[in-house]
A = this chain, B = another copy of it.
């Protein structure tokens, strides 16, 4: 390793996850916390913990000066951003570089490139990866209406600097176009300070399949198989699995290969995700790349035996890729259910309060990623993710039955959660046996 001490610029389960990875690599870790998180037990697991600001994330976990200062005063040589917060902020990467801190993730150049959804589309298309019909608007040569005609309806208006499902609007016909563009642009401006949008053909109830890739400093790129992430509501995933079920073997191979080609096209380094849509005819299309560790990375760890967060740190230190052969080294099937402190019976309203633990799931094939402790206050300032339950089995049905029991054993008081909804999803015949696309969860909730 070219560094010995890693600052963890995040909170909650992913901060705990990164601290654990550092311990496995025999690296020291520096945890940062806001005043509201001062009692988090994972802080004890770090070599050092430092308060960087008040509860408000803008003044703590999103404060670049606070994080850089914390890294410098504690002697950290690298920063792991986790997911969310500053993890995909090229400016943060730049400031890290200026201060001689290794950023655990791709370079600023790559992050800027894949952060521009339109540029990423064009770059991978040039390498031969299939994309959906799309047009950048406004184009000097014609009107949005003309561009939309070429794309075809239904279509999506998407923010070029998008993320987290914001700045996206579905347009079913020409009469909705102008309003959708204006709405998406305004939302994107507010969220990302960039009003630019593009148009992309919309598929009906496609599946969302993403491929985990790893790239090293030598330019080698491998994939670790794909994840199925179609069970989502407003682009927030609830259930993920690996490998993707019911995928034609030839399609699976082409999809995995396309991900490697796409990653190579942008010169990707470190861990990343290449997202595709798959339609019912078995065609697939690149939609975007994510330049961070994903929330759902544990399903890939469960079938690969790898520690992806530790791999991220190794790769950031300049280490070459360890040998991995997906055909033989991926084993079994894994499902993840996210337990959010949200009330599905009240429009997924975030549910704040003090958590009391009654029982937590574990046992054969079960992994639980959580920062939960008895008495933890769920605060309105932060993400509602409380825990991720991951079930591994030799096959999908074994994983699924284990998950069902595990969810039954996840018993806490004090906040409403998505647990029962997750049980409902994995018990549903469509989830078990059919094509469950990105429209599945909305349909389930609607009726």
Contact = CB atoms under 8 A, between A and B. Distances in A.
A429 to B, nearest CB: 16
Contact of A369 (B20, B331, B363, B375): B363
* Residue of A17, A26, A360, A373 with highest tally of chain B CB at under 10 A: A360
Dominant SS among interface residues on chain A = mixed
Interface stretch (A152-160, A170-178, A274-282, A403-411): A403-411
Contacts of A409: 41, 45
A359 interface: yes
A377 interface: no
A264 B198 CA distance: 70
A398 interface: yes
Given A367-B366, A408-B45, A357 B332 contact: no
A196 interface: no
A342 B305 CA distance: 34
B331 A364 contact: no
A358 interface: yes
Contact of A45 (B305, B356, B364, B405): B405
Select the residue from A45, A367, A372 with max chain B CB neighbours within 10 A: A367
Nearest to A392: B305
A401 interface: yes
A45 to B, nearest CB: 6
A307 interface: yes
Contact of A373 (B298, B358, B373): B358
A402 interface: yes
Name which of A26, A305, A363 has the most chain B CB atoms within 10 A of its CB: A363
Interface string A350-365: 0000001111101111
A394 interface: yes
A239 interface: no
A364 B24 CA distance: 11
Contacts of A17: 363-364
A16 interface: yes
Given A41-B358, A363-B369, 7 more contacts: A20-B363, A305-B394, A309-B364, A358-B375, A359-B372, A363-B367, A364-B367
A191 B179 CA distance: 84
A63 interface: no
A23 interface: yes
Contacts of A362: 360, 362, 367-370
Contacts of A411: 41, 373
Interface string A292-315: 000000100100011101000000
Contacts of A41: 358-359, 409, 411
A145 interface: no
B16 A363 contact: yes
Interface string A82-122: 00000000000000000000000000000000000000000
